[in-house]
Amino acid sequence: MQRRSRKRKQTEVQAQPSPPIKSTGEPFPNHPHPTPEDCRAVRDDLLALHGFPKEFAKYRSQRLNGSALIPAKPEPFDGEHDQSSSGFNESVLDGLVSTVLSQNTTDVNSHRAFASLKSAFPTWEDWVTNSLSKLGVLRPTFSWVELVLIAESKSVENAIRCGGLAPTKASCIKNVLSCLLEKKGKLCLEYLRDLSVDEIKAELSQFKGIGPKTVACVLMFQLQKDDFPVDTHVFQIAKAIGWVPEAADTKKTYLHLNRRIPNELKFDLNCLLFTHGKLCQKCTKRGGNPQKRESYGNSCPLLNYCDISKSECNS
């Protein structure tokens, strides 16, 4: 029971809107790490160990090609669509909802919840048609986000239950959609592509339940901006290798790393640290099923940085 309670407290889905993230400020002005050389060395070491993570390859390809992930045309979701294919299409709103569903659960469960959400709601079209025909609206057509918006909360919860925290996440998603429709008149976040990073942070932080990590993930993946999300894995590794002081919290870690890490290294380094944190038992104190985690023993390349960090602290 205590473990479940702590997990619920850690979720970013909150009752009130999160304050906008500010990219200015230097929380640890006297802390010397990471240097650009540190960042490049860790990136290269982890790349040699893991290769680049396949789950992020689609986003990396878009970055290397210099093209934005702008969907030319919404495509129907058949439950079997492979988003890792060359025809990968993802809207900003899809990315935001997917990131909300990923909070405090495994990648497998969050992907399953998102697929369930997008595949379940077309079955509501007949119900919607019958309901609205009574109001004189004939043959309405709806996108999946519109169906989620008008659906009862319990129905949305059932669709995403496999991802955990279903009532809280369903409330967050429906709130985002309703606020977006009220403010913009349509369910679309593509307008964010034309805004600056600070403007995007201010826009997304207005939605209840959308916290700093979610905003940073949307910036980095869907909007192709240079940002550095700090999840549990990144946070614990950053402390272990001395990139932030031991007393640092996640907010100050986010501010510090975004100022210190060169923009051109942020994407690769973040994906690799996240992946390594899930796999290596020695680098983080938690993170997934221990039976699925690997022990690299003395071959873990980050152990050298941990040793250097300890020697600096003791000097």
What amino acid positions are annotated as catalytic residues?
213
Q: Is 208 helix (H, G, I), strand (E, B) or coil?
A: strand
Rounded Cα distance between 33 and 35, Å, is: 5
Q: What angle do CA 101, 210, 154 make, to 5 degrees?
A: 50
Nearest of 109, 110, 115, 55 to residue 80 by alpha carbon = 115
Q: Measure the CA dihedral 196/198/199/201, to 10°.
A: 120
Q: What angle do CA 268, 32, 284 make, to 5 degrees?
A: 50
Distant-in-sequence, close-in-space partners of 35: CB < 8 Å, separation ≥ 6: 260
DSSP-assigned letter for residue 65 = H
Q: Which residue in the block uniquely carries the two structure tokens 């307008």?
A: 191
Rounded Cα distance between 9 and 155, Å, is: 25
Task: Identify the H or E element spanning 129.
Answer: helix 125-133
Q: Is the dihedral of CA 58, 63, 65, 67 positive or negative?
A: positive
Give alpha helix (H) positions in 144-279: 144-150, 153-160, 166-184, 197-204, 212-220, 232-240, 250-260, 263-279
- Here the tokens at position 289 are 């099923």
- Here the tokens at position 309 are 């960090």
Q: Answer for the pair 201, 92: CB distance below 8 angstroms, yes or no.
A: no
**216: Cα separation from own chain's centroid:** 7
